[in-house]
Structure 1
Amino acid sequence: MNSESCIFLAGASRGVGREIANCLSGGEVKVRALLRSPASGPELERMGIEIVMGDALDLAAVEQAVADGPAISAMISTIGGLPKDGQRADYLGNRNLIDAAVKAGVGKFILISSIGSGKSAVALPPQAMETLKSVLIEKEKAEEHLINSGLTYTIIRPGGLKSEPATGNGVLTEDYRVAGTIHRADVAALACACLHSDQANNKILSAIDRQMAYGQTDFEVLDI
C-alpha cells in the first residue's frame, strides 16, 4: 500500500475497532473511520484519523462515506452489537459495507467475526452456542456474503475477548476446532498484519492467544 491509499475502518469507536485505530494511527497510510455517533470523533481525529459520519445500516450513507475522499485500498469492519430498531449490524451493517466495497473497487476486506460462527461452532460448548446462537447466525451470514462478494477477503474469528494490554502471543490458524481467549489489542495487531499479507487472503482464521487456548493446543499457525 502506498502513501496515497486509504484504509476504511468501521467500528472504531470501541473494542477491537478502537485498538485497530490505535494500531494504524501515525502510519503512512491514511485512515478513514465511519462513526454512527460523534462522541469518539475528537479523540480519533487527534490520532490523525479522518472521521465520516454515517450508520452502517444505511447503505446510501455507507456508499457516500466510502466515496468521500481518496480511494479505499482496504476496508476493515468490527461492527456488531446491540440491535437498533430490532436490527443487528452484525449482518445488515456488514452487508452494506461489503456491497459498498464492491461498488468502490476496494482491494481487500477484513471482517472481524467470532469463533462459533460457521464450522467453528464445534469449538464452543453447547451452552455457549445456545447463548450466542442468534448473534452467530448473523455473523455467519455476513461471512458468507463477503465470501460470495468477489472481494479479496480475510475473516478473523477471535475467541473470548479481554481488554488488557497486548501480550504479543496472538496467533491465527485455519483450524476451526481451536478455541481460547485473546486480548483485543492482539486481535488488532493480527488484523493490521493481515492488511499486508497475501498469506491471509481469502481465508477464514481463528484468533486466540497461544497461552490461553482451551483444550486442543496442537494446531498449525498461519505465518503472516
Structure 2
Amino acid sequence: MTSSIFLAGASRGVGREIAKCLTAQGHHVTALLRSEASRAELEAMGVSVIIGDAMAPDDLKRALGQSEKPIDVVISTIGGLPQDGIKPDYPGNKNLIDAAVSAGVKKFILVTSIGTGNSVSALSPQTLAVLQPVLIEKDKAEQHLINSGLTYTIVRPGGLKSEPATGNGVLTEDIRIIGSIHRADVADLVCRTINTRADNKILSAVDKNMLFGQFEFETFDLS
C-alpha cells in the first residue's frame, strides 16, 4: 500500500537514502528543504520539494498544508552535530511533531540514535562524553513525540557508515545493543516500519555483522 509521506532531513545522509527508498516503493513523497541546493536531485527522484525551515513553526504548518495529498506519515531525520551551537534535534522535531498533530497526520517516524533515552547505557563513557549534548536534545524530541498522541515509531541507529546497503540491518527492542550500520540499511528499515506492527515502538538499528561485542539478542520482526 502506498502512502503520502512528508520527509524532513532529505538533503543528505539517512534522509536522502530514505527518499530513494520511498520513491522506489511508489510512495508519494514531499520533502522539506531549507535551501534550493538539493531540489534538482530530489525532484529527479520524483520527490515534491517545499522550501522551509523546521526551526520556524509557521513554515511547517504551511508545508504540511501545502502537500499535494493529505499526509499519512511524517518521517524526520532532523539532527545536529555535537559541535553545533544551536542543535535542531529538539526544537526542529518539536515544531514538526506539533504541526503533524495539527494537520491530523496518522503516524510519525523519528530517527534519533543509539544512546538516546534508555539506551544510554549501551555507549562507552568516552562516546557518551562526546555525544551527550546531542543525545539530551534527541531524548527531549523522543519524549515530545511519545506524549503527542500521535502513533509513532522511533528508530535509533548505531554508528553510521556511507557504504552501499549490506541487507543485514536489523531492529531490536534490546537497549543494550550497540554497533554500526550503513545509512542505506537504516533507510530500508525505516521504510519497512511504515506498514508494519512497529507502531508505538522504540527500536535500535544495527547491522547484525557489525556489532560491538557479542551477545544474544532478539530481533524485531517487521513481517
| Same fold, TM-score > 0.5, yes or no | yes
Where does structure 1 lack aligned partners over 5 or more consecutive residues?
Answer: none
The partner residue of 2:28 within 27, 30, 37 is: 30
Q: Distance in 1 between matches of 2:171 and 2:212?
A: 15
TM-score w.r.t. the length of structure 2 is 0.96
One-letter amino acid matched to 2:200: N
Checking the alignment, whether the CA contact within 8 Å between 2:159 and 2:179 is kept in structure 1 is: yes
One-letter amino acid matched to 1:99: D
Give 1:223's aligned residue: 221
Give 2:70's aligned residue: 71
Deviations 1:157-206 (CA, angstroms, capped at 9, x unpaired): 00000000000000000001100000000000000000111x21101100
User: 1:105-184 maps to which residues of 2 (within 5 A)?
Assistant: 105-184=104-183
TM-superposed CA distance for 1:87, in Å, is 2.3
Give 2:86's aligned residue: 87
One-letter amino acid matched to 1:139: K
SS of 2:38's equivalent in the other structure is: helix
SS of 2:171's equivalent in the other structure is: strand
Residue identity over aligned pairs, in percent, reads 62
Give 2:45's aligned residue: 47
Q: Distance in 2 between matches of 1:73 and 1:127?
A: 40
Q: Distance in 1 between matches of 2:87 and 2:54?
A: 10
Deviations 1:86-111 (CA, angstroms, capped at 9, x unpaired): 42110000000100010111111000
Checking the alignment, whether the CA contact within 8 Å between 1:33 and 1:49 is kept in structure 2 is: yes
Checking the alignment, whether the CA contact within 8 Å between 1:26 and 1:48 is kept in structure 2 is: no
Give 1:194's aligned residue: 193
SS of 1:211's equivalent in the other structure is: coil
Q: Distance in 2 between matches of 1:83 and 1:179?
A: 19
TM-superposed CA distance for 1:28, in Å, is 2.9
Give 1:213's aligned residue: 211
Q: Distance in 2 between matches of 1:105 and 1:219?
A: 36
Deviations 1:50-89 (CA, angstroms, capped at 9, x unpaired): 0000000000001100000211000100011159994211
One-letter amino acid matched to 2:100: A
One-letter amino acid matched to 2:194: L
Q: Distance in 2 between matches of 1:148 and 1:214?
A: 32
Q: Cα RMSD between the aligned structures?
A: 1.5
Residue correspondences, number:
221
TM-score w.r.t. the length of structure 1 is 0.95
Checking the alignment, whether the CA contact within 8 Å between 2:82 and 2:133 is kept in structure 1 is: no
Checking the alignment, whether the CA contact within 8 Å between 2:17 and 2:184 is kept in structure 1 is: yes
Deviations 1:111-143 (CA, angstroms, capped at 9, x unpaired): 000000111110000110011010000000000
Q: Distance in 1 between matches of 2:113 and 2:176?
A: 13
One-letter amino acid matched to 1:158: P
One-letter amino acid matched to 2:70: A
One-letter amino acid matched to 1:58: A
Checking the alignment, whether the CA contact within 8 Å between 1:178 and 1:216 is kept in structure 2 is: no
SS of 2:133's equivalent in the other structure is: helix
